[in-house]
Amino acid sequence: MWSSLTIIGILLVTANQGKGGSAPAYSTDLETELRTALFTGYEVLQRPSERVSVTVSMNLITVNSLDIKAQTLSTSGFFQLWWPDSRLQWNSNSSYENIRLLFTSEKYAWTPKVVIENSVNDLEVFSDANTLIRLNSVGAGKWTPGGVFETSCEADITYYPLDTQTCSIVLTTWSYTSNEITLSFDDDPFILDNFSENGEWELLETSNTTESAERSRSESYTYDKLYFTLKLRRRPLYHILNTIFPVILMSCLIVFVFKLPPESGERVGMSLTVLLAYAVYLTLITDNIPQTSLSASILSTYLTIILMLSNLSVIFTIVVLDIYFNHDDDEAPPDWLQKFTKYFLVNITCWKGEACCKQGKVRPSNGSEPHISLDDLNKVNDDKRMIKSPGRKVALTDDDEENAKPEERPYSWKEVALILDRFFMYLFVLLVFTVTAVSLSILAVGGQQ
């Protein structure tokens, strides 16, 4: 009896398997059969449904450039679009369950007609015959058209080159209104897995917004728009090294003009060379810097001030050389110049350790110091007045100059020229440093806003 029941059970199972059968393995003939079944009578221009929901994300590969003058942003990447198409599903037919994916082109399957609205090159519908559409068994299509996208971007260059720019890539439907195709973002609107950093621009953040708006007043229909927004910050090192640093370096040449010895004969030539170099450089950089930027006005003002200082350096150099070479060695400067040099220039420049840089030693009197009679003191004062007289030419011996105290020794014309030369150098160091520090501070504060 048990043997009979076993035989009957085996027969029932075998019959059951024969009735349902197992799905055939994948083969090219099987896929051809499925394609014939799906695309026979398929209308490419017909939407899958009355209202198709298209989900979009952007795979950003790189930011190529952001042209401030042309107001254009160049990016490389591709969009990923998903939409349902029930006409292309085959999961209900078990004969094709071993076929998981089909690939087709936009020539044979419906695709959503979308464009980049703010494109600067053309306003064409996405069309990429080389990018295939992936179809799964539930009838969901995935399409990834890509390329280099040139889009408009209203750049704010107020704080150039420490500026931050916000640009958007606007994706919208073409011909299809919001009642026919709805565009929405995927859960991850921006895919940055393959993103490569740009040498000039740093990607700070990404954001996305959606909008439905009319295209003209005559139309009552709305169209969906997707905004893929990039926030970019300029890397300032390149512009600092190529714009700001050379300007500061050239301004230092003004100071070093006064370090050349008057005998070298190159001072006026160097001053004029620096002046000419500044004029040429000012012309060159104004072509590369947006004129409406804050940095352009700051840099222009800075260069203008430096040019003025360069002109003054030429004038002061001529004055110093005239004083140094156009007077005899035994000719004493006038009394007013002696006083101006003694009480002002020497104190400011600390000439040869005198005045502010050297403190006189005070010795306590022990009563053993020799006393000078009144007649001798009057004689010394008369000699000092004769030496300081501007109308007399008196040559001091080496012993007289060595024994004379700094506050009593008269200065020669060459010494006055050298002291004045050092004063001009210190003055220009102060002016250049102050102007540079103030300009950089304003530029830095502006860049942080």
- pLDDT per position as a tens digit, 164-197: 899 999 999 988 999 999 999 999 999 999 999 9
Q: What is the pLDDT of residue 449?
A: 54
pLDDT at 237: 79
According to the model, what pLDDT value does residue 377 have? 43
Write the CA distances from 16 to 4, 20, 308, integer angstroms: 18, 6, 103
Name the stretches of the chain with pLDDT < 50. 1-20, 357-358, 360-365, 367-378, 380, 384, 387-396, 398, 401-402
- Mean pLDDT, all residues of the chain: 79
Residue 433 has a pLDDT of 87
Is-contact 409 224, C-beta < 8 A?
no
pLDDT of residue 17: 41
Residues 214-263: pLDDT tens digits?
A: 877 887 889 999 999 999 998 877 777 777 777 777 777 777 777 777 77
pLDDT for the residue numbered 283: 67
In angstroms, the Cα distances linking 149 to 77, 111, 170, 416 are 8, 20, 11, 69
According to the model, what pLDDT value does residue 250 have? 74
Residues 76-108 pLDDT 10s = 999 999 999 999 999 999 899 999 999 999 999
In angstroms, the CA 117 to CA 360 distance is: 82
pLDDT at 362: 47
* Per-residue pLDDT at 403: 52
Per-residue pLDDT at 112:
92
The Cα 236–Cα 233 span in angstroms is: 9
